[in-house]
């Protein structure tokens, strides 16, 4: 149980284009989903927290107009990187917290490697 999937696992896009990454909770309902970014040999950095049906809360320094988050259902959240640039190349990881579970229980997806050329 408690499986989180991400799609795609890898994506290469050209500078200036937009990319959408999906995060799904496969066998549970997630009221809250988190989006992280991880650069090589660095820690996971929380970008934003999204609650189903409401606007995402972005961490300081994360541009909400550049990283669009939509948590439209209890099993799906999407992250759209708009007008991507090479410096956006990173490993993007989502996690999900099951409805009614302890606040510290998060299940992580396998990650999406984004490369912007």
Partner 1 sequence: SQKIEQNSEALNIQEGKTATLTCNYTNYSPAYLQWYRQDPGRGPVFLLLIRENEKEKRKERLKVTFDTTLKQSLFHITASQPADSATYLCAVNYGGSQGNLIFGKGTKLSVKP
Residues that bind partner 1 (CB under 8 A): 4, 6, 32, 34, 41-46, 49, 91, 93, 95, 97, 103-111, 113
Which of residues 11 and 45 has its CB atom nearest to partner 1 in the complex? 45
Please say which residue, 25 or 106, places its beta carbon nearer to partner 1: 106
Taking the C-alpha atoms of residue 16 and residue 20, their distance in angstroms, rounded to an integer, is 13
d(CA 96, CA 6): 11
Round to whole Å and give the CA distance between 63 and 6: 22
Based on CB atoms, which residue is closest to partner 1, 25 or 109?
Answer: 109
């Amino acid at each position: 149980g408690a499986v989180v999937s991400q799609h795609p696992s890898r994506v290469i896009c050209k500078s200036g284009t937009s990319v959408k990454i999906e995060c799904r909770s496969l066998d549970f309902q997630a009221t809250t989903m988190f989006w992280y970014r991880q650069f090589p040999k660095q820690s996971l950095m929380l970008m934003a927290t999204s609650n189903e049906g409401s606007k995402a809360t972005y961490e300081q320094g994360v541009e909400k107009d550049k990283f669009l988050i939509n948590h439209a259902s209890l099993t799906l959240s999407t992250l759209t990187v708009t007008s991507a640039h090479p410096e956006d190349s990173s490993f993007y990881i989502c996690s999900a917290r099951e409805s009614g579970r302890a606040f510290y229980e998060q299940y992580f997806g396998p990650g999406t490697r984004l490369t912007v050329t």
